[in-house]
């Protein structure tokens, strides 16, 4: 009964969030923040693969976010490609760079790998700033089209008067698109976690020598994890490009990587569901501080102190994050549920 009530409350809350943007009293700023949270939810889930599942510290995740965003931005401006074509291309580009960076450097362990990823993200920012012929450098990349759903080629075939063409204006459509993106990544993460692939990652995190003696090729599986993580980051970047319609290199500075890593740690390393909460808390906190800090006559950069303080408090009181990953409770696979019943009855 207790659980039912909890579930009911959960679904009620979800339904409330779902229909909220449709009401006339929905605040545009509030919706904007929610979309931002969703972007970071995707980033945090994607990053969780590397430090959470494989146990490798990644300090350069924002590099892939930037690669995805600029891939989407440039493809939109120069080739006018549709958002639905761009997302897979951006993911592919992210994954390619993930493999290019990961294949030689994932042989390194621990701190060395963290330093390499950090250097990579700085390189991405330097490239975006200095290759002016391609990215317009510090001037940024304005004039990216919003997301468009265009079925006019199809509808005019049926009836010349039908024009199935929608341009995304205002935060509402992005809210639902973002929600769709979060749900998609969430499902993919869940399915990867509960598979041969996910188990191989966990084995590497727990004990790499034992993992290789189980027949797991360490380098291959680390590179796969890194590439998938990069691809998810690039998808979030592509969404960002078509949502903000403007990109500049300083949107992908190092502290973004740190922020995403904080979300992952806050939610619980290795538990991608916790990352959702981590993203929501830290973005909401950032917005609150944006209002509070000027009122106190402090510069807005002071908010990094707050993030640091949160990390210190987390390390002291909840070192495993708010939702630590517990192997024994996260199994909803029907095969395992069946097995549990069989073992219980015998």
Partner 1 sequence: MNILDIVGINMRFGGLMALADISFNVVKGEILGLIGPNGAGKSTMFNCISGVLKPTSGDMLFETGNRKIRINGYKPEKMTYLGVARTFQNVRLFSALTVLDNVRIGRHCRTRSNFFGAVLRTRSQKEEEQRIVDESINWLKFVGLDKFAFLTAGGLSYGFQRKLEIARSLATDPSLLLLDEPAAGMNPKETKSLVELIHSISDLGITVILIEHDMKLVMGICKRLVVLDHGVMIAQGGPRAIRENPKVIEAYLGRGAADA
Residues near partner 1, by CB under 8 A: 188, 191-192, 195-200, 202-203, 206-207, 209-218, 224, 228, 325, 327-328, 331, 333, 335-336, 339-340, 343
Cβ proximity to partner 1, 75 vs 200, nearer residue: 200
Minimum separation from the CB atom of position 49 to partner 1 (A): 11
**Shortest distance in whole angstroms from residue 241 CB to partner 1:** 24
224 or 247: CB nearest partner 1 = 224
Q: How far is the CB of 202 from partner 1 (least distance, A)?
A: 6
Report whether 110 contacts 96 (CB < 8 A): no
CB of 187 to partner 1, least distance (A): 8
Nearer Cβ to partner 1 (81/188): 188
Q: Closest distance between partner 1 and the C-beta of residue 209, in Å?
A: 6
Residue 191 vs 290, nearer CB to partner 1: 191
Nearer to partner 1, 7 or 206 (CB): 206
CB of 109 to partner 1, least distance (A): 16
Pick between residue 73 and residue 274 the one whose CB is nearest to partner 1: 274
Q: What is the 3-state secondary structure (H, E, C) of the chain?
A: CHHHHHHHHHHHHHHHHHHHHHCCCCCHHHHHHHHHHHHHHHHHHHHHHHHHHCCCCCCCHHHHHHHHHHHHHHHHHHHCCCHHHHHHHHHHHHHHHHHHHHHHHCCCCHHHHHHHHHHHHHHHHHHHHHCHHHHCHHHCEECCCCCEEECHHHHHHHCCCCCCEEECCCHHHHHHHHHHHHHHHHHHHHHHHCCHHHHHHHHHHHCHHHHHHCCCCHHHHHHHHHHHHHHHHHHHHHHHHHHHCEECHHHHCHHHHHHHHHHHHHHCCCCHHHHHHHHHHHHHHHHHHHHHHHHCCCCHHHHHHHHHHHHHHHHHHCCCCCCCCCCCCCCCCHHHHHHHHHHHHC
Closer of 218 and 245 to partner 1 (Cβ): 218
Residue 182 CB, nearest approach to partner 1 (Å): 16
């Amino acid at each position: 009964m207790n659980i039912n009530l909890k579930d009911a409350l959960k679904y009620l809350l979800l339904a409330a969030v779902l229909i909220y943007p449709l009401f006339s009293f929905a605040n545009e700023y509030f919706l904007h923040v929610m979309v931002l949270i969703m972007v970071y939810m995707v980033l945090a889930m994607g990053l969780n693969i590397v430090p959470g599942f494989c146990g490798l510290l990644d300090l350069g995740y924002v590099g892939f976010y930037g690669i995805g965003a600029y891939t989407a931005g440039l493809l939109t401006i120069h080739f006018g490609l549709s958002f639905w074509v761009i997302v897979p291309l951006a993911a592919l580009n992210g994954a390619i760079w993930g493999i290019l960076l990961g294949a030689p450097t994932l042989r390194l362990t621990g701190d060395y790998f963290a330093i390499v990823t950090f250097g990579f993200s700085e390189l991405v920012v330097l490239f975006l700033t200095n290759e002016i012929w391609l990215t317009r450098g510090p001037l940024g990349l304005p004039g990216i089209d919003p997301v468009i759903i265009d079925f006019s080629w199809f509808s005019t075939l049926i009836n010349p008067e039908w024009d199935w063409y929608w341009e995304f204006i205002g935060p509402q459509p992005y809210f639902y698109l973002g929600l769709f993106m979060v749900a998609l990544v969430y499902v993919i993460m869940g399915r990867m976690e509960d598979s041969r692939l996910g188990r191989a990652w966990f084995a590497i995190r727990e004990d790499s020598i034992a993992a290789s003696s189980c027949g797991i090729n360490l380098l291959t599986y680390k590179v796969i994890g890194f590439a998938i993580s990069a691809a998810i980051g690039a998808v979030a970047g592509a969404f960002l490009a078509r949502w903000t319609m403007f990109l500049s290199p300083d949107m992908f500075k190092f502290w973004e990587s740190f922020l995403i890593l904080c979300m992952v740690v806050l939610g619980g390393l290795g538990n991608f569901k916790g990352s959702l909460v981590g993203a929501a808390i830290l973005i909401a906190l950032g917005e609150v501080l944006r209002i509070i800090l000027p009122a106190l006559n402090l510069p807005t950069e002071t908010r990094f102190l707050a993030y640091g303080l949160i990390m210190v408090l987390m390390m002291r009181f909840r070192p495993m994050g708010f939702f630590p990953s517990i192997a024994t409770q996260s199994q909803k696979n029907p095969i395992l549920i069946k097995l549990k019943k069989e073992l219980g009855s015998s």
